[in-house]
Amino acid sequence: MTKFNDNVEAIDALRKKHDEILKEINKKIYGQDQVIKEVLISIFSRGHCLLIGVPGLAKTLLVNTIAEVLGLKNKRIQFTPDLMPSDIIGTEILGENRQFKFVKGPIFANFILADEINRTPPKTQAALLEAMQERSVTAAGTEYKLDEPFFVMATQNPIEQEGTYPLPEAQLDRFMFNIMVGYPNFEDELTVVKNTTTDKEFDIKKVLTAEEIIFFQGLIRKVPINDNVLEYAVKLANKTRPDSEHAHEYTKKYLHWGAGPRASQYLVIGAKTHAVLNGKYTPDIEDVKAIAKIILRHRIIKNYKAEADGISIEMIIDELLK
């Protein structure tokens, strides 16, 4: 791995690598530039993503492409009602020498696509979410560390809710970002159809190694942040709590529950990553605002009055950011 003289030189190198990553991903993925950037922010922040979008928007292709460009081992887990925790983390089997041995499940990869995570019962959801938090799994009393870097991108279908098990708020909180994946515009969809209905192949180049990703994740933590930006991030999270002294009038009127301290932490680390990837050496308030919605939208709960008045979570967050 390349040696850097100081953090400034390393940050410049990360920004250059980031631009190369985007260039490679865009060879296969069209019309999802913002989603790609947000996923990359999450990866370099050492967080996990929850993607909300209808089927057919290339979420699986996105995971495969990012993993290929980053040189990571990736696995896809299709969540179904009959999926068991052992199907994810692995199980012990009796070997030929009559000794039990642990056979690792698909969770032992760098990049996990947890497809339709709300289709499986809470017990199985919890097995994945524990691995996300602890970055290890326990089987038959033995702890097994997961490979680093470790990143989970879970998907949910926002339309079809029959036969689903919604994630509890405490488990949703484990995800750094909640990213909405929309339809591509007309021009992008034309490009998608044109390039995917022929035998055209794309040569994807590996840009980073696992070792470099771990280094850059550590580098982000070292990025300095001014006290006023830190206070803004913490105060923004506090504004979402109805019983807080900093509670916004919209919060008192329309929110039943606000974001916890993890939101403050993610606002700060996310702002650092957003700043670095956009040409700055320290974040400002605009960097906090840029990632606020995808961090807060799954951490605040509306009350009945918000439902009655037709007030959305996005509208509330927009008011908090004014």
- Which overall architecture, per CATH, does domain 7-210 show? 3-Layer(aba) Sandwich (3.40)
pTM of the model: 0.91
Q: Among residues 198, 43, 54, which one has the least CA distance to residue 110? A: 43
Question: How far is the C-alpha of 129 from the C-alpha of 114, rounded, in Å?
Answer: 11
- Burial environment of residue 49 by CB neighbours within 10 A (0 to 12, 13 to 18, 19 or more): buried
Question: How far is the C-alpha of 106 from the C-alpha of 84, rounded, in Å?
Answer: 12
Amino acid identity for residue 315 in this structure: M
Question: How far is the C-alpha of 125 from the C-alpha of 145, rounded, in Å?
Answer: 19
Query: What angle separates helix 33-44 from helix 210-222, to the nearest 10 degrees?
Result: 80
Question: How far is the C-alpha of 303 from the C-alpha of 33, rounded, in Å?
Answer: 33
Residue-by-residue pLDDT tens, the chain, 322 positions: 666 667 889 999 999 999 999 999 988 888 888 999 999 999 999 999 999 887 777 778 888 888 889 988 889 999 888 999 889 988 888 777 777 788 888 999 999 999 888 888 888 888 888 888 889 888 777 888 998 999 999 988 776 666 677 787 777 888 999 998 888 888 888 887 887 787 777 788 899 999 999 999 999 999 999 999 999 999 999 999 999 888 888 899 999 989 999 999 999 999 999 999 998 999 999 999 999 999 999 999 999 999 899 999 999 999 999 8
Q: Tokens 């879970």 sit at which residue?
A: 154
The token duo for 135 is 């970055």
The pLDDT, as a whole number, for residue 163 is: 62
Spans of all domains in the chain: 7-210, 224-321
Q: Tokens 């290890």 sit at which residue?
A: 136
Cβ(53)–Cβ(158) below 8 Å: yes
136-139 and 142-145 beta bridge pairing: antiparallel
The pLDDT, as a whole number, for residue 162 is: 63
Question: How far is the C-alpha of 225 from the C-alpha of 26, rounded, in Å?
Answer: 31
CATH topology of domain 224-321: Helicase, Ruva Protein; domain 3 (1.10.8)
Using DSSP, state whether 216 is helix, strand or coil: helix
Alpha carbon 260 to chain centroid, angstroms: 18
Question: Measured on CA atoms in the order 284, 286, 287, 292, is the torsion positive or negative?
Answer: positive
